[in-house]
Structure 1
Amino acid sequence: MTKLETAFAPVAPAVDLDAYFARIGYDGPREPTLAVLRAIHQKHPDAIPFENIDVLLGRPISLDPAAIDAKLIGAGRGGYCYEQNGLLKRVLAALGFQVEGRMARVLWMAPAGAPPRPRSHMVLAVRVPGDDAAWLADVGFGGCVLTAPLALFSDDVQATPNGDFRILPIDELGGERQVQADLSGRWSPTYQVASGAWADVDYEQANFYTYAHPSSHFTFSLTAGRTTPTARYALKNNRLTHRDATGALVDQRDLSAAELEAVLRDVIGLPVEPDWRPLLEKIVAWGSAA
């Protein structure tokens, strides 16, 4: 690398690895290997839930690394894709992995024939040093989050601790690939990954849209989830969906405000604050009106 290239080379913001690993309960090796990537990828969605509570409380979402670390690590909170995968990106880079941010178009639960949504989901393309294979890492996709990295350019069915996935080519010329989840024998598209890396600053506009624009569903509905080694829990407003590790439906029910508060605390794993209660009551009303 020349002196000029060195001067302008991006520097990954620091992250407290000890604090992060304590947060997710990981005490294994700290080397850039596929085994380490898999171990971290499984533990993160169990320990750090997906949630948009701050958006519904009218609080802006900062992508500043210090703010993300204070929220997701220090305060025991969760977040959405830009926070979750932004944190994982810095952790993996600190361990010596080669990591690129990518952007994806969400297809999950889109009605048939619906117009395409804008690209709004952050994912990661990860490479182990000395290996050209690219791995898709994503710890920020709510109730259908990955719990293992996927080989980005393999068409094969890939098993994870929480269900099977596959990634199929959609646009051979542009290199777009569609991630699909096996839902009890039915392949359902989750999102479509675009080619090309995004710089950290590129996510600022998409993040602003996500937490501030009135058409963003995060501004008018609760989305929260946690995925454990044995189950997936997802909240859409006050409706709790519980699936087992294979993706099979175990239970689905609507919650009262008191039940919603208990689920956020005891199932999703959030440190529920007393001033959330008016919001939770509003969320229950939204669910009843749907």
Structure 2
Amino acid sequence: MRPLETTTATPAPAAPAVDLDAYLARIGYEGPREPTLAVLRSICQKHPDAIPFENLDVLLGRGISIVPAEVDAKLIGAGRGGYCYEQNSLLKRVLAALGFEVEGLMARVLWMAPEGAPPRPRSHQVLGVTLEGETWLADAGFGGCVLTAPLRLFADGEQHSPNGAFRIVDASHDGVVERQVQADLSGRWAPLYQVAKGAWAAVDYEQANFFTYTHPSSHFTWSMTVGRTTPTDRFALKNNRLTHRDATGALIEQRDLSVDELEAILRDVIGLPVEPEWRPVLEKVVAWGTPA
């Protein structure tokens, strides 16, 4: 009798490499490189300070690539920012390189949705990081209300971060239980998004990303959204309206900017390398005014 043939299992593909030295220098991190909660907390705080949220390339007609090498060239090498698919795909690879068990998740955005508005599709990438059997939510790509600390995804009650309090509660969509992330805005719990269970592979984000930077219903195609969160302040731009809050979420300033002021804020406060080609887009943004 011929012996049974055996097959060798094909190993899972390795996560795309990332230049850890360059990334950690970009965010100003000089601590340990090990998969601990302390390291995760530090990176989650430093990333949104150093790498702003922005959708300038969408408005410039350049499109958004989530090819790892191109994300790294933009966010690390060129000193630019990006939106969730860029920010969190980079953070995912960084955490994996540090030895964390991390998976991509998808969320349904609720932020600023009018009362009674129809549900939105899942369009926001977030990360689930498993430490000692517990899942932590990490998100470096949610504009001016970005998380600056990992949150326990399946814990009830208030959770604190360097930039305000959050909570995550059970919610449902079409009978399916999801976890809704809420932020404390001066005593009012405001929903950010609902996280669905189930990991997404890197390739799963391709269509969602294409939709986000091309479809007319995506606000990124017709408005400018920019944010930077430091240890003491949150800065957010919606078109030409600047909103400045302190670390507790209390409003410090809100005003509309001229083109020159907008350019200066992008450069000097947000920290972006403003290019001459941006000027026509910024003029258009000021003409649009602040969306309702």
Shift of 1:39: 0.3
Q: How does 1:192-211 map to 2 (within 5 A)?
A: 192-211=194-213
Establish whether residue 157 from structure 1 lines up as the match of residue 158 from structure 2: yes
Q: Give the Cα–Cα distance (whole angstroms) in 2 for the partners of residues 289 and 186 of structure 1.
A: 22
Q: Give the Cα–Cα distance (whole angstroms) in 1 for the partners of residues 141 and 290 of structure 2.
A: 27
**RMSD (Å) for aligned C-alpha atoms:** 1.5
Q: How does 1:90-239 map to 2 (within 5 A)?
A: 90-128=93-131, 131-171=132-172, 174-239=176-241
Q: Give the Cα–Cα distance (whole angstroms) in 2 for the partners of residues 289 and 29 of structure 1.
A: 43
- Partner of residue 45, structure 1: 48
Shift of 1:171: 3.6
Q: Which amino acid aligns with 1:100?
A: E
Shift of 1:236: 0.2
Q: How does 1:52-63 map to 2 (within 5 A)?
A: 52-63=55-66
- Partner of residue 240, structure 1: 242
- Specify every segment of 5 or more residues in structure 1 that has no aligned partner in the other structure, as ranges: none
Shift of 1:288: 6.6
Change (3 A) 1:164 1:258: same
CA contact (8 A) 1:174 1:195 kept: no
Shift of 1:275: 1.1
- Specify every segment of 5 or more residues in structure 2 that has no aligned partner in the other structure, as ranges: 1-5
Q: How does 1:9-88 map to 2 (within 5 A)?
A: 9-88=12-91
**What's the secondary structure of 1:252's corresponding residue?**
strand
**What's the secondary structure of 1:104's corresponding residue?**
strand
Q: 2:254 aligns with which of 252, 255, 270?
A: 252
- Give the count of matched residue pairs: 286
Q: Give the Cα–Cα distance (whole angstroms) in 1 for the partners of residues 58 and 290 of structure 2.
A: 21
Q: Give the Cα–Cα distance (whole angstroms) in 1 for the partners of residues 176 and 7 of structure 2.
A: 33
Instruction: Spell out, residue by residue over 1:79-138, the C-alpha distance to the aligned partner (whole angstroms, 9 max, x if none).
Output: 00000000000000001100110000000000000000110000000012xx10000000
CA contact (8 A) 1:89 1:99 kept: yes
CA contact (8 A) 1:163 1:181 kept: yes
> TM-score, normalised on structure 2?
0.95
**What's the secondary structure of 1:267's corresponding residue?**
helix
> TM-score, normalised on structure 1?
0.96
User: Which protein is bigger by CA-based radius of gyration?
Assistant: 2
Change (3 A) 1:162 1:153: same
**What's the secondary structure of 2:245's corresponding residue?**
strand
Change (3 A) 1:3 1:222: farther
Change (3 A) 1:238 1:12: same
Q: Give the Cα–Cα distance (whole angstroms) in 2 for the partners of residues 112 and 238 of structure 1.
A: 25
Query: % of aligned pairs identical?
Result: 77
**What's the secondary structure of 1:101's corresponding residue?**
strand
CA contact (8 A) 2:238 2:290 kept: no
**What's the secondary structure of 2:168's corresponding residue?**
strand
Moved runs in structure 1, 4+ residues, more than 6 A? none
